[in-house]
Copies of this chain bind each other. A is one copy, B any other.
């Protein structure tokens, strides 16, 4: 089950599939949506029938509704067990949310992912934690699908790469990342338009929500950690859509002089915390000790309790804390 799969084998399997269902993780981000749509367009080019399902909800998050094919996402319920299910940007089956059972029922289950904690739970597993985004792996797969890139594929995968590198700002941004982005631009992706759509098309409510998060920035651990928070009241009062909370932490992390930035989303009895490292702290390792996951520089966890309880337990584990 856990054998690594070569691009060539995976390409052959997908090319010969009668039907492919593509799923990604719950709370889909730009890489989940972009890599899914990029693969769908690639399979279209290869003449392979395909269906896009979302692990949570039916519609593509509005932030990525500009992407070609965004209207093709549907709910997994009612989709028959497919010959091939491709799980994108998901380290394990539970992350597929409502699509998990469909994935389990598939004739062949394929995982394509760049998360370091990916479990290789598929029959075929294309896992590469050196890739900046799952979209980069789809881009590399194109020659093995025997199709040339086109503008739709390039636009979706550039969006995956752009967003999963934080606009080429995270430490996963290498010269290879930038060259891959350049190839996508040559194939028809427009950096200016994609950036404006992904980052400069926010609703008034989303902007107000960012405002609340920024206005509440608080320094802790002798200034080495900054945290802020939003709750359901903020979301309802501003009218921001739930998915517009996705990259809130990118605004908070523009703060200088700190090692770690923490944004807490306070729900009913739970707090979902996003962590970003601004130094060489490994927030992924810290998140895992709290049952969460992620990368060295970007991680998350869910805490049962309130913000005060989270801070009491988490701050000591962060830089400048007493652990």
Contacts and interface: CB of A to CB of B under 8 A. Distances in A.
Interface string A247-261: 000001111110000
B195 A168 contact: yes
A196 to B, nearest CB: 7
Contacts of A169: 167, 191-192, 195-196, 199-200
Interface in A170-185: 170-171, 173-176, 178-179, 181-183, 185
Copy count, this protein chain: 2
Interface residues on A, range: 35 or more
A201 to B, nearest CB: 3
Contact of A214 (B185, B214, B217, B254): B214
Nearest to A169: B195
A203 interface: yes
Contact of A256 (B183, B192, B203, B215): B203
Interface stretch (A30-38, A81-89, A95-103, A204-212): A204-212
A174 B179 CA distance: 11
A42 interface: no
A136 to B, nearest CB: 14
B255 A200 contact: yes
A170 B199 CA distance: 12
Contact of A253 (B171, B178, B200, B203): B200
Contacts of A186: 175
8 contacts: A167-B168, A167-B195, A168-B191, A169-B192, A169-B196, A204-B255, A210-B214, A211-B213
